[in-house]
Amino acid sequence: MDDFLFSDEPNEVVEQEASGTWKVIIVDDEPEVHAVTKLALSDFEFQKKRLEFLSAYSGEEARKVIIDHPDAAIVLLDVVMETDDAGLQVAKYIRETAKNNHIRIILRTGQPGQAPERQVIVNYDINDYKSKTELTAQKLFTVVMSSLRSYRDILAIDQSRQGLEKIICASRDIFATHSIEHFIKGVMQQLTSLLGTVDEAIYATSLVASNEPYQKNDQLIVFTGRGEFEESEGKPISEVLKPEQLAACNEALQQKGIIYKDNYLFAYCSSEYNHSSMLFISGIPEFLTGTQKHLIKIFTQNVQLAYENVQLQAEIEDTQQELVYRLSEALELRSTETGNHVKRVAYICYALAQAYGLSSREAELVRMASPLHDVGKVGIPDAILNKPAKLGDDEWKVMQTHTDKGFQILKDSRREIVNTGAIIARDHHEKWDGTGYPLGKKGEDIHVFGRIVALADVYDALRHKRCYKAPWEAEQVVEEINKQKGLHFDPKLVDAFNEIIGDLEAILVRFPD
Residues designated as active site = 377
CA distance 62 to 68: 10
> Of 429, 438, 416, 436, which is closest to residue 366 (Cα–Cα)?
416
Are 240 and 222 contacting, i.e. CB atoms less than 8 angstroms apart? yes
> Of 235, 240, 263, 264, which is closest to residue 252 (Cα–Cα)?
264
CA distance 360 to 287: 41
CA distance 69 to 22: 11
- Helices 340-356 and 290-332, packing angle to 10 deg: 130
Residue 130 phi/psi, 5-degree rounding, is -135, 140
Helices (H), 93-179: 117-123, 137-176
Cβ contacts of 503 within 8 Å, gap of 6 or more: 351
DSSP 327-394: HHHHHHTTSSS-THHHHHHHHHHHHHHHHHT--HHHHHHHHHHGGGTTGGGGGS-HHHHT-SSPPPHH
Are 243 and 273 contacting, i.e. CB atoms less than 8 angstroms apart? no
CA distance 10 to 132: 19
Cβ contacts of 213 within 8 Å, gap of 6 or more: none
Residue 386 phi/psi, 5-degree rounding, is -110, 15
